[in-house]
């Protein structure tokens, strides 16, 4: 049965702890035939809800790129640390109610693709896909999540739980943001040539650029130029 009280408590607690975004996705979305990534069901077979959490990232971190790459990287990691604290408290709140919860790594957290499969560079679950089915965002041509309120300038994580939360969401957004086809700025700016007009990304080129060319600092140029 849907636990509406817990859903409300999680929302209230997240905003009190300065999260900017929270939503709930039905994990059966990952069983759609169009989804080709790893599934949360492989991590938690009885998962009933995916909680998607986000914080917006200060604009100065993007405006000062590329000179401010160290500051940008550090600001992103501060966002990740903030999300971890919030997600940890929410996971404990869920477990106090008798359910179980575990926290997914933020996409692109401090070890880059450290958490991902080394060959495919795919994470255990696409947080972006969950965010779409939680009604929070859609996709940009830069392969980043375009949140309704903050565009791509966000940091995200997710919690898996066997609690049945209120995740009935009407999906109104197109899968890819409607502004992208007349923009393509992210594709033109990408220094690694990782993004293509057909909507694909070469993750290895992006990872190689950040972890070899930049020595581990983040790039962020595809987010900086995004007008959304
Ligand atoms: S830069 Fe343009 S094409 Fe790329 S995600 Fe943003 S709006 Fe879409
Ligand atoms: S982070 Fe940089 S290298 Fe990776 S896709 Fe974006 S612009 Fe290209």
DSSP symbols for 160-215 = EESS---------S-SB-TTGGGT-HHHHH-TT--B-TTS-B-HHHHHHIIIIIST
The highest-level CATH class for domain 4-178 is alpha beta
In angstroms, what CA-CA distances link 29 with 20, 24, 116, 146?
Answer: 23, 12, 21, 19
Question: Which residues line ligand 1 at a C-beta cut-off of 6 Å?
Answer: 140-142, 177, 179-180, 183-186, 225-228
Per-residue pLDDT, 205: 92
Per-residue pLDDT, 16: 98
Q: Is the CB of 158 under 6 A from ligand 2?
A: no
**Domains of the chain, residue spans:** 4-178
- DSSP annotation of 27: G
Per-residue pLDDT, 141: 82
Task: Say if CB 201 and CB 122 are below 8 A apart.
Answer: no
If you take atom 6 of ligand 2, which residue's CA is the nearest one? 222
Distance from Cα 159 to the centre of ligand 2, integer Å:
26
Task: Say if CB 104 and CB 125 are below 8 A apart.
Answer: yes
Contacts for 203 with CB less than 8 Å, ≥ 6 apart: 113, 120, 121, 194
Tell me, rounded to whole angstroms, the distance of Cα 75 from its chain centroid.
16
> Can you tell me which residue has the tokens 């007008």?
227
Per-residue pLDDT, 123: 72
Per-residue pLDDT, 107: 64
CA–CA separation, 50 vs 115, rounded Å? Answer: 19
Per-residue pLDDT, 121: 64
Question: Tens digit of pLDDT per residue, the chain (228 long)?
Answer: 888 999 999 999 999 999 999 999 999 999 999 898 889 999 999 999 999 999 999 999 999 999 999 999 999 999 999 999 999 999 999 999 999 999 998 765 544 455 556 666 667 788 999 999 999 999 998 788 899 999 999 999 999 999 999 988 888 899 999 999 899 999 999 999 999 988 888 888 998 898 899 988 999 999 999 999
Per-residue pLDDT, 105: 83
Distance from Cα 8 to the centre of ligand 1, integer Å:
33
Structure token digits, residue 109? 């957290």
Closest CA to 47 of 26, 72, 71: 26
CA–CA separation, 196 vs 143, rounded Å? Answer: 10
Ligand 1: which of 141, 173, 227 to mutate, judged by most atoms within 8 Å of the beta carbon?
A: 141
CA–CA separation, 208 vs 213, rounded Å? Answer: 7
CA–CA separation, 224 vs 142, rounded Å? Answer: 11
CA–CA separation, 142 vs 168, rounded Å? Answer: 28
Distance from Cα 12 to the centre of ligand 1, integer Å:
32
Q: Is the CB of 141 under 6 A from ligand 2?
A: no
């Amino acid at each position: 049965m849907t636990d509406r009280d817990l859903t409300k408590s999680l929302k209230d607690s997240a905003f009190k702890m300065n999260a900017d975004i929270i939503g709930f996705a039905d994990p059966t979305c990952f069983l759609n035939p169009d989804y080709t990534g790893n599934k949360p069901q492989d991590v938690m077979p009885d998962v009933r809800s995916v909680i998607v959490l986000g914080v917006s990232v200060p604009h100065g971190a993007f405006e000062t790129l590329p000179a401010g790459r160290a500051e940008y990287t550090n600001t992103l990691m501060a966002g990740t640390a903030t999300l971890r604290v919030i997600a940890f408290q929410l996971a404990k709140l869920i477990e106090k109610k008798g359910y179980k919860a575990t926290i997914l790594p933020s996409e692109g957290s401090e070890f880059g693709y450290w958490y991902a499969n080394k060959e495919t560079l795919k994470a255990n679950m696409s947080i972006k896909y969950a965010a779409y089915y939680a009604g929070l965002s859609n996709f940009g041509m830069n392969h980043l999540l375009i949140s309704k309120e903050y565009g791509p300038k966000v940091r995200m994580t997710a919690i898996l739980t066997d609690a049945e939360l209120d995740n009935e969401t009407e999906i109104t957004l197109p899968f890819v943001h409607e502004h992208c086809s007349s923009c393509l700025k992210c594709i033109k700016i990408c220094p690694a040539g990782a993004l293509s007009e057909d909507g694909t990304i070469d993750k290895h080129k992006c990872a190689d650029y950040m972890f070899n060319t930049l020595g581990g600092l983040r790039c962020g140029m595809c987010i900086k130029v995004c007008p959304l």
